[in-house]
Each structure stands twice: as structure tokens, then as C-alpha cells.
Amino acid sequence: MRSPHQPTRRATLAGAATLLSAPFIFRSAHAAEDIKLGFNGDLSASPSAQSGRAAVVGIQAAMADLAREGGVLGRPLTLTIRDDLSQPPKSIQNMSDLIDNEKVVAVFGPTNSGNALAWKHIPNQKHIPVMGCIGSATDITKGTGGDNYMFRVGSVDRIQVVTLMGYAKKNPRSGKIGFLTETTGYGQGGLKDLQEVAQAQGLTPAANEKFNVNDTDMTSQLSKLKSAGVETALVWAQGTPIGQLMRSMDKIGYFPTVLTSWAADNLSFMNAAGPQLAEKPIFLRTVSETRSPRQQALFDRVRPNIDADSAFSFAVHGYDGTMLLARAIQQAGSTDGAKLREALENLNGSYEGFAKTYDHPFSRTQHDALGAADQRWTCWRDGKLAAYSDDIVASLKPEDFKG
Amino acid sequence: MLATWLQALVSGLAIGGVYALIALSFSITFTTTKTLNFSQGEFIGVGAFLGVAVLYLLSGQDEGAALAPGASAGFNYPLAAIAVGAAVGVIGILLFITAVRPFAGKPGMSWVMSTIGFGIILQSIGLAIWGPAPVNLPSPFGDDVIRIAGAGVRPQEILVLVVAIVLMIGLDLLLRRTRMGKAMRAVANNPSVAALMGINVSAVMIGAFALSSALAGIGGLLVAPIASASIFMGLGIALKAFSGAIVGGLDNPRGCIFGGFALGLLEASVALWQAQWREIVIFLLIILVLAIRPQGLFGARTLDKV
């Protein structure tokens, strides 16, 4: 016997359904207002954290500018930030959280390349575009069969290697080239690029030496380069060991032309090498140290919120990446991931960004917006980063960048 | 070619001097207490940072800017070395009281874990105070390369070598010629008999840990101008130094010094051949030495009653 006060089974079910669907009703109503974007990257743990923080500053500056123009599709943008502490497991967890729980339409990041490689299958499976602006590993934006949702406005190891090799080939001094790499994943990834690109450009290294990231004396390795007659050394390592390498060159009085990975822009390189030796290597960045008035205005605007002058390029990547994404949303007329990817791959018109003017920055097979022609030659002068130029840099043409 | 080999010799001796000094510090506690401080690496890092702190204080510089090249000049560097030696020595006594004495002489290897744990605590405190970034420490004799027959060496590397040799000779004399040294050797030989002879065994053991830790701290201060002071700088050095001590024979201080230098020279010469094979060659050699002479090259053959 059922008491008359007890609700019927049907009423109970209906009530439960209403209760369960309430958050979804709320969420979809909420989504109609905001376009949610996510950031997933290291903001506090590794030495690269300052780059992650600078990227976020750039993204937020772009969002503020978009908000002034009335948002995208008439809707405001919001940014949900997740710090991955540079740990791959945490980064993977953040990615699922941002996509499944926060329902973001696109994600920026990560700071550390390894983390992107750890989770790039997730956005590819869930059809959520990722805009990289910090990590530079070549494989991040490489497709793995099927649709590729990984995009990047930033530095790419492979493109740096191609550009540096173009310089090495044209250097009248470089009768012979040699490689010096660190035995970490970063250094060995770079070595693979160096070897492949050298082959593509018809160069054979006369020496190929390795060192540990904590080494303080690389004189033995350098002696081998010296006796092999190497006059252009291509170095792939982090800031501190490149600094120690310069000190070891000083010890044996051997100074070939030194072309290095962009890690030499880090203050840790400057500290290890000292101000005089720091002026020797040449490397590539995406934003020149001789800033245009427009770049200077952005620099002055964001500089109070970033940790170092050298981190400005990441703010630029974040800013331009956000703007390109906004244009893709506008063009797609929707925030659907697959449509967004298609819009990014076929972006109409051109956009005057802060790193360059983007004209069809991405295609189905090309997901890196900044290429060899967008690299800016850089060096240290008087303890500060400066634009580098010489006759070889001036003579480099697009056809010199092969590989 | 000669210059290349000379460069390897000079570089090997410089790094070998550091290994030898730390290897000796392992030997000091092992011979007196039959225990080792497995956090010696952290003591090196802490020593370097304490040195940086003392130099900031002595040169009256603001903490915000990097140390000026002249900050180590004059009496500043030796004063920093004394301060670091004393402070890290006190930390060593603390280590002995909290992490070694409760377990020493008891069955089991609890002291291995407790000294490693002490090191982790020390490292975490160091990270909280100084952070993970390396800090520059200028050499007292400047940074200009000195040329010897085509090979280049920095003044700090010569200083490391000279200080390491002076300290090692001094300690050798202390152990062999003084009453204190005799007491230490007596405790090492047989603590109960030493106690019956009126030697304060406890004090000797505390002294051994203080001395060993002070050496690690000074080692950190010596290496910092070459490698930059960092809380992680000591781990690699301590591992190599320990390997050197094992090769030379942990219970023979002179053997440990030999082992340290041998390892440094070996590193530099293997790098002349193939740098990426360096660690493989070194550790294969250590395994080989231990297989043939388990007590190390100069260690005394001991029989454990089972």
C-alpha cells in the first residue's frame, strides 16, 4: 500500500531529471555568453616558468583588446588558467579537466615541450585546438595521421636549425662545421634536427661531440673540434652549459663561429659565460631587439607584468596566437572544434600581429605560423640582448633555408 | 697534440682535486664511526650558498644584484671559507646527533636512510631560502685564463688544487702525527678498547663528523666560482667522490685521495676519446676494481665474522 503523500514513481523520475539537468541548462546558458579559453603550462616550477607567465600576460592583453572591440561573435572571452608545475602527469590531468569539466573551446600552452608530447593525443581525440606559444620541440605540431589540432605561434627547433644551417653554409669562414650537443632530451632532439638538416643542405660535420648538462670543462670535446679544423660550431644545449662551453673555448683559445639554440637568450647563459664571452654566440629569436614603435608600445604595456625583458617574445606569441584564434572563431561562426581547426587552416585575409603580419599562417599540413624568414638574429652586447647583423645575415634568401 | 693532452691533464687535476677532497671527507667518518654521510652532496651545495651569503655580508652588497667581481678579493674569501667551514661543521654535528648516533653500531642500515633523509631536509630548506637558480660567485684571483705551454687554466682551478693538496697534507699529518689523530685511529680500530684507554669516543666521533662536513662545505665554496653555486651542484660531485673513495679504499685516507685524482684524470682523458662514454667507462672500471679488490686498491683486507 502506498501512502497518498508519497510521490508517484513518474513524478520522482521527472523531478530527478530536472535536478540533474539543471547544471547543464545553466552551463549552456552560461556558454552562450562567454567563450572559454584555457591555459595549461608551467607557471611556477621550472626555470622556464617565467616564459609561461609572460605568455599568459600576452594572452590576457589580447583578450582585453578583443573585449574593447565587443568580443568575438559578440561574446566575451574568458581564460581559465591551470599550472602544470612542469610535470607531465599534472599537465595531462589539466588537459582533461579543461576540456571535459571547464568545456574550453581551445587551449594555450604548454610551457615545457615534453608535456605537449605527453598529451597531444587528447586534444586531437577531443577535437579541441591547441595554440602553442612557448615549447619549441619540432614534434609538437607534427601530425600523427588524421586531423591535427596542434597549432603554434612560436619558436620551432627545426626552423631554427634550418636557419642556422643556412648561415653556416654561407659563412666564408666555415670550411668545416661541427656539432656540440648536450646529452639531455633537448640536446639530442636538436642533434637529430642538426644531422638531418645538414644532410639536406649537403653539409657533413667534421666533428660531433656531446657533453653533460652539468659539465664545467668541455676542453677535451673542443680540442677534438679544433684538431678536426671546425670553424663553425653548431651548439644545441641549455643556457648554463652553453656558458660553460664558451669558458672552455676561452681556456684553449679556440673561437669558431658559434651558432646556438635560442637557450642562449636566457639570463643563465649570461651568468655562466660572463659579459665578454657571452657576446660570442649568435642565435635566433622571433622578436627582434630593435623593436618597431608598435612593438615598443606593447612592450611598455606588458613589461610591468613580465619577469625579464627577454620573456617579451612569449607575450608576443601569446598575443598573436589569441588574435589568430579569435579570427578563426569569427570566420567559423562557431566555437565547434572541428570548424575552428578548418578555419585556422584556411584563415582569410591578413592580420598585422606583433611578431609579423600573418597571411594564411596555417595550412592543413603546416601548423607553425612562424617560419625561417621570421627568425630574428640575436646576440648579447654589453650585458643586454641585441639585434645581430652581418654580411651573411643580409645575404640570406628564402632558398637558403632547406630541410 | 701535446697541448691537448696537457689540457686534459690540467682539467683532470682541477676536477680531481675536488673529488679527492670530498673522497677524503667520506673516509674520515668511515674510519672513525664505520658510517658515511650520504648527504655530503647537499652539504657541498649548502656550503657554496653560505659562502655567497657571507660574501654579500662582507662586501656590503645589496642582495638584489649579482656579486661584483671584487667581492671575493682580499681577506673576504678566506674569511668566508672559515665561516663556511665552521657553519657546515656545526650542521655535521647536528647530523651526527640526530641521524647517525641513534643508529650507529646497531644492526641494519638505518643510518643510510637517515643521512639521506637529513640531506633531503637540508636541500628543501636550502631551496626555500635560496631558490633553485644558480648564483655566481667570483673567484678571489679573477677570471683570466693562465696559459701553461698551450694549455689554459683559470686561477680558481689552481686554487682548488692547491687548497685541496694543502688540506689533505694537513689532515694526513693530523691523523698520523698528533695525539688527536692517534685517538681517532684508536677509535676506528676498536671503540671499546679506545674508551677503556681513556679516549672520549663520543667526542672523537662528533669531531670526525664536524671535520668531514666542514671539508664538504669548503669544497662547495671552492667549486662555486667554477660551476656557479646551486643547491644541486654537489650531487654529481659527491657521487664521483664516493666512487673515488671506493676505488682507493674507504678505510685508507691516502687511497681515497688517490682515487679522487684518478677519477678526475680518467674523466678528462675519456672525454678526449668519446665524451658520451665517460660515465660508462668510469663505472665499468669501478665495478672491475671492486670485483678484483673488494676493499679498494689501497684498502685493508677485512674479515667479517658471520
Q: Residues of A numbered 343-382 whose beta carbons fall under 8 angstroms of chain B's beta carbons: which are they? A: none
Hey, what's the cell of A324? Answer: 589568430
Could you tell me which residues are beta bridge partners of residue A36?
A78
CB-based contact A251 B15, cutoff 8 Å: no
- What chain A residue is nearest to B235 in terms of C-alpha separation? A214
Identify the structural domains of chain B with CATH numbers, from first to last.
2-292 (1.10.3470)
Number of A/B CB contacts below 8 angstroms equals 70
Residues 6+ apart with CB under 8 A from A218: A180, A211, A241, A244, A245, A248, B271, B275
Helix runs in B64-153, H state only = 76-95, 110-130
CB-based contact A268 B226, cutoff 8 Å: no
Average pLDDT, stretch A324-332? 96
| pLDDT for residue B164 | 87
Residue from B4, B227, B275, B263 nearest A251 by CA? B4
| pLDDT for residue B301 | 65
CB-based contact B152 A227, cutoff 8 Å: no
- What chain A residue is nearest to B65 in terms of C-alpha separation? A271
- Tell whether B155 lies on the interface with A, counting CB pairs under 8 A: no
| pLDDT for residue B64 | 65
CB-based contact A252 B151, cutoff 8 Å: yes
Whole-angstrom CA distances from A343 to A324, A330, A367 are: 10, 9, 12
* A170 min Cα distance to partner chain B (Å): 30
Residues of chain B contacting A182 with CB distance shorter than 8 Å:
none
Find the largest Cα–Cα distance for chain B. Answer: 61
- What chain A residue is nearest to B269 in terms of C-alpha separation? A220
* pLDDT exceeds 80 at position A198: yes
> Which ipTM did the prediction report?
0.81
Nearest to B226 among A183, A209, A216 (CB): A216
Asked if residue A110 has a cis previous peptide bond (ω within 30° of 0), the answer is: yes
CA distance A273 to A270: 5
CB-based contact A377:A163 (threshold 8 Å) = no
- Tell whether B152 lies on the interface with A, counting CB pairs under 8 A: yes
Residues of chain A contacting B269 with CB distance shorter than 8 Å:
220
CA distance B57 to B50: 11
Residue A26 pLDDT grade (very low, low, confident, very high; cuts 50, 70, 90) = very low
CB-based contact B134 A271, cutoff 8 Å: yes
CB-based contact B275 A210, cutoff 8 Å: yes
- Tell whether A201 lies on the interface with B, counting CB pairs under 8 A: no
* A207 min Cα distance to partner chain B (Å): 11
Could you tell me which residues are beta bridge partners of residue A234?
A179, A259
- Tell whether B236 lies on the interface with A, counting CB pairs under 8 A: yes
Whole-angstrom CA distances from B268 to A273, B17, B18 are: 21, 13, 14
Residues of chain A contacting B7 with CB distance shorter than 8 Å:
219-220, 223, 251-252
Digit-coded pLDDT (tens) for A90-139:
999 999 999 999 999 999 999 988 899 899 999 999 999 999 999 998 99
- Tell whether A44 lies on the interface with B, counting CB pairs under 8 A: no
Whole-angstrom CA distances from B89 to A170, B92, B127, B129, B215 are: 58, 5, 20, 20, 8
* B19 min Cα distance to partner chain A (Å): 14
Q: CATH assignment of A158-285+376-400?
A: 3.40.50.2300
CB-based contact A367:A347 (threshold 8 Å) = no
CB-based contact A274 B143, cutoff 8 Å: yes
pLDDT tens, per residue, chain B with 306 residues: 778 888 889 889 988 999 999 999 999 988 888 888 999 999 999 999 999 999 988 888 777 677 777 788 888 899 999 999 999 999 999 999 998 888 876 777 888 889 999 999 999 999 888 877 778 888 888 888 888 888 888 899 999 899 889 988 998 898 888 988 888 888 888 888 888 888 888 898 899 999 999 999 999 999 999 888 888 888 889 999 999 999 998 888 889 999 999 999 998 888 888 888 888 888 898 899 889 988 888 877 665 555
Residues of chain B contacting A250 with CB distance shorter than 8 Å:
145, 152
| b/e per residue A260-287 (b: at least 16 CB within 10 A) | bbbbbbbbbbbbbbbeebbbbbbbbbbb
Nearest to A220 among B133, B136, B275 (CB): B275
A205-211 vs A150-152, strand pairing mode: unpaired
- Tell whether B240 lies on the interface with A, counting CB pairs under 8 A: no
- What chain B residue is nearest to A217 in terms of C-alpha separation? B11
Nearest to A223 among B7, B14, B66 (CB): B7
CB-based contact A107:A39 (threshold 8 Å) = yes
Digit-coded pLDDT (tens) for A215-274:
888 998 999 999 999 999 999 998 889 999 999 999 999 999 999 999 898 888 888 888
* pLDDT exceeds 70 at position A392: yes
| pLDDT for residue A30 | 47
Residues of chain A contacting B19 with CB distance shorter than 8 Å:
none
Residue from A356, A355, A367 nearest A328 by CA? A367
| pLDDT for residue A12 | 52
* DSSP structure string for A266-286: SHHHHHHH-TTGGGS-BEEES
Residue B245 CB neighbour total at 10 angstroms = 31
The 8-class DSSP code of residue A138 comes to G
> In angstroms, how far is CA B218 from the centroid of its own chain?
8
- What chain B residue is nearest to A227 in terms of C-alpha separation? B1
- Tell whether A223 lies on the interface with B, counting CB pairs under 8 A: yes
- What chain B residue is nearest to A222 in terms of C-alpha separation? B272
- What chain B residue is nearest to A248 in terms of C-alpha separation? B152
- What chain A residue is nearest to B132 in terms of C-alpha separation? A47
Q: A80 in helix, strand or coil?
A: strand
Nearest to B275 among A211, A251, A274 (CB): A211
A177-182 vs A384-387, strand pairing mode: unpaired
- Tell whether A255 lies on the interface with B, counting CB pairs under 8 A: no
Residues 6+ apart with CB under 8 A from A53: A43, A306, A307, A311
- Tell whether A252 lies on the interface with B, counting CB pairs under 8 A: yes
Residue B143 CB neighbour total at 10 angstroms = 16
Do the domains spanning A31-155+290-370 and A158-285+376-400 agree at the CATH topology level?
A: yes
B-interface mutation test, from A42, A247, A251, most B Cβ less than 10 A away: A251
Q: Hey, CA dihedral for B62, B67, B73, B79, is it positive or negative?
A: positive
CATH superfamily of the domain spanning A31-155+290-370: Response regulator (3.40.50.2300)
Place of cell 644492526: B107
- Tell whether B125 lies on the interface with A, counting CB pairs under 8 A: no
Domain ranges of chain A: 31-155+290-370, 158-285+376-400
Nearest to A253 among B1, B134, B152 (CB): B152
Hey, what's the cell of A133? Answer: 606559444
Residue from A135, A73, A79, A146 nearest A107 by CA? A79
